Amino acid sequence: MLSLTQNVAAGTNQKPIRLRPRTSDQISRFLEKTDLVYDLLNGFGSPLNVIFPDAIEENIKSFENVYKKHLLRGRIYFTSKPCKSKALARKASLFNIGADVSSSGSLEHVLAAGFSPDRIEATGPKNVDYILKCLQLDVLLNADSVAELHLIKDLHGKLGLSRKARVMVRLTGFSSPRMHFTPQDGTFGTHIKDIPQVFDWLFSNKENIDFKGFSFHLNDINDQQKLVAMENSLELTFAAIKKGLAPKGIDIGGGFSIQYAESAEDYAAYIEYLKKSVVGKVDSQVWNNGGLGYKDHNGVVVGGPLFMDHAPARTKGDELDYLLGQKAIAFGKSTFASIIRDSLLELYVEPGRALMDQCGITLSRVAFLKKSTWGETLVGLEMNRSNIHSLQIKNLCEPVIVPRSDRREINRNGFYLIGNLCLAYDMIQYNKIYPDSLPQRGDAIAFINTASYMMDFTESEMLMHPVAEKVAIRERDGKFQWGHDKNYLPISA
């Protein structure tokens, strides 16, 4: 437990801060098996994505417990978007959860993993092929626009299906008389001001369209805005019921955080140091004197971070629990949980990132060390920025180094990780990192928690470098077993 007060002067002086990644016990144990790590890396090549499917169970439980606590029914949706691993989807299919897919290909992916169509929900922009498959398989369609609703109805008619098309309607444009939001544009959903016409349309197409409820998806980490969206969605759900429609529940999407940094204190100190570097009080901590979103404006830091909060106050199920426990002000004094439960509605969540916590790491071999034009130490990896989505998802945590030998060189001034693309710069991380020792050529390093949108979200065969293979790890009786991701069996047989 944190002591009530603490003198943090040490954190404000001139020494850079290490930002260690939060690492599960299982991953730590795996990385201690140096021979195995090297065998895999040598066998499959660098980079290599290593999947830990067992870790998904705890993440699912984190959400299930919240449903139990609030006596709620509904469905937690596994999302295939953050990681293409077959093993993860295969493992996820064993639990009492659904699968949220976002393309025709990801629909096939989860079907192959063992999800039956009644457990699948289809989101994302949809073309004719994608909608047709969903209609034929009776997959729940989360409609993103009025035009899409019309297309669904049209294709449903052409298929001549006797059963109704099951649809949800994704909302946007939330507002509250109590809170003014500075508008932010977005591409998802149908504006709530257009919903009265949608009601009429749904009502007049009741024979073909089975309206299951409203959904939204906000990545915004601000809980206040999410609460307004939940309130608006519930108000519209009630309005729908009064109109004679029969929505079954509400879908509050995802956007639940995970903790990337080992320690919230270190993360706070790291960011403080970063900001200090932006205004030139200490040496730059970002490649090419960047600020990762922060800028120097006459000695003052302005702008916002282009990276995630690595140590949020609430993560995963705790965040859901918090949201459900808040009062739904438009509904008197009841909490969201009681309104949803008491109205016999179901609650659907789509925690993409949060179900992938500690489910994957990315291994790479160190190819070379060199100095940059400005004299910074560069550690070159046998991977590139497409393998870790580093242009967008800026995970600042240092990787774990798995040294090949005991020979160590003390790391005094920090270093940058670069990739193998023949470009002016191919940054794997834009921030400088400070592990105790410098990795050597041939050493393995492991980026932690990459199954959440990092390892394969943007992978490509850029400059004809290969994309990474995936292996899935199972730990039985203290021993690690591995196999190719596509060959993973979710149970011992």
Q: Which long-range contacts (CB under 8 A, 24 or more apart) does 292-300 make?
A: 292/394, 292/396, 292/430, 292/431
Say whether residue 181 binds other proteins (CB under 8 A): yes
- Cα 150 to its chain centre, rounded Å, is 31
Asked if 309 is part of the footprint of other proteins (rule: CB under 8 A), the reply reads yes
Least Cα distance to 251 among 133, 144, 105 occurs for 144
Per-residue x/- track, 195-234, other proteins (CB under 8 A): ------------------------xxxx-xx---------
Q: Which lies closer to other proteins via its Cβ, residue 339 or residue 473?
A: 339
Applying CB under 8 A, among 24, 62, 257, 358 the residue interacting with other proteins is 257
Residue 96 within binding range of other proteins, rule CB under 8 A: no
**Applying CB under 8 A, does 424 fall inside the site for other proteins?**
no
Q: How far is 320 from 314, CA to CA, in rounded Å?
A: 9
When the beta carbons of 38 and 322 are compared against other proteins, the nearer one is: 322
For other proteins (CB under 8 A), the number of binding residues is 68
Q: Phi and psi of 144, rounded to 5°?
A: -95, -15
Map tokens 């030998």 to a residue: 405
Let me know how long the chain is. 493
Least separation in angstroms between residue 28's CB and other proteins is 23
The whole-angstrom separation of Cα 270 and Cα 20 is: 10
How far apart CA 460 and CA 466 sit, in angstroms, is 8
Contacts of 412 (CB under 8 A, 6+ apart): none
What residues numbered 10-29 form the site for other proteins, per CB under 8 A? 11-12
Contacts of other proteins in 120-159 (CB under 8 A): none
SS3 label, residue 131: helix
Residue span 264-303 as binding mask against other proteins, x where in contact by CB under 8 A, dash where not = xx-xxx-xx-xxx-xx-x-----------x----xxxxxx
Q: Binding residue for other proteins (CB under 8 A) from 112, 128, 159, 241?
A: 241
242: burial class by Cβ within 10 Å (0-12, 13-18, 19+)?
Answer: exposed
Using the rule CB under 8 A, which residue among 249, 255, 351, 360 binds other proteins? 255
Binding site for other proteins (CB under 8 A): 2-9, 11-12, 71, 179-182, 184, 219-222, 224-225, 238, 241, 255, 257, 264-265, 267-269, 271-272, 274-276, 278-279, 281, 293, 298-309, 311-313, 331-334, 338-339, 341-344, 392-394
